[in-house]
Amino acid sequence: MRKIIYTSIAFLLGTTIGYSQVNLSDSEVKTIQDQSITLIHNFEVVLNTVGDPTLSNSTVQNLIFNSYGGENRLFNNSDAIVESDLNANILNSDYANEIQDFNIAKYLTDFGLFIEKDIAGVIEFSELNVSPIINKKDIFTNVYFKSKIIGVKKESEAPFKRINRSALIKAKKVNNSWRCYIVKIEFCDANLKISGDKIEKEYSVFTEVIYKDHFELKFNDRVEKMYNDRTEVIYSDKVITLTQGVVGID
């Protein structure tokens, strides 16, 4: 077990936004972001299939293996990590500082063992929102979403809360086409406001926002917008743009 450490958007801004290492076209960016969203939808399907009481154990085991080991896998490999949400008390005050990291095979196996199965579904995702491309040595993006386990844990009647989750997605060029895989799924700060088009967190002097194509820091006197190829600082009377080291003022 270890303590939960929520990564702030400001930290991501400081470590991931910079000049692109790989030139991506608009269509490539869209492909990667669309695939990333689809991966999380498919992960939801996998979880509900694992929770289907009509399926044989061998069928479920094949599904689990194919999720990280098959040609059409969702996860990068067997080392992909999921921060476990299988303890309904994990976000209560007595447990909020400790979580467990499981590899994907263990997480899916435990999900099938510990959650009461129901053919109608055992988990639901909502408000899926993809971040801008993180373009460094490798290509990544993040998908933020809300998750709620509908079923109950066996031998426990404690209901599960709806929680904030994020998935780190890695994009790879395979035979001249982009393929995306889940590297990690983790908890998000419960204070993040996740909606259909943005992720937002308020602080005392500024607000952090993630949109699909850029990051923002909103202050009382200005808005800083960070795109992959430029940064814009918007004041009431002027706009300062920084593009590849060149400063422009409008």
Name the one residue in this structure whose structure tokens are 């499981």: 102
pTM of this prediction? Answer: 0.88
Q: Where are the alpha helices (DSSP H) in 25-116?
A: 26-50, 57-69, 104-114
Domains, the chain, ordered by start: 9-194 (3.10.450.50)
C-alpha dihedral sign at 94, 96, 102, 108: positive
pLDDT at 6: 45
E strands, the chain, are: 81-83, 101-103, 123-130, 134-135, 139-149, 163-174, 177-187, 193-194, 199-202, 207-210, 215-218, 223-226, 231-234, 239-243, 246-249
Instruction: Kindly give the confidence (pLDDT) of every residue in the chain, 250 residues in length, as a single tens digit, with 9 standing for 90 and above.
Output: 444 444 445 444 444 444 446 789 999 999 999 999 999 999 999 999 999 999 999 999 999 999 999 889 999 999 999 999 998 877 665 555 678 999 999 999 999 999 999 999 999 999 999 999 998 889 999 999 999 999 877 777 678 889 999 999 999 998 999 999 999 999 998 889 998 789 999 999 999 999 999 999 999 999 999 998 899 999 999 999 998 778 888 8
pLDDT at 10: 44
pLDDT at 91: 63
Count CB atoms within 10 A of the CB of residue 192: 19
C-beta of residue 249 within 8 angstroms of C-beta of residue 239: yes
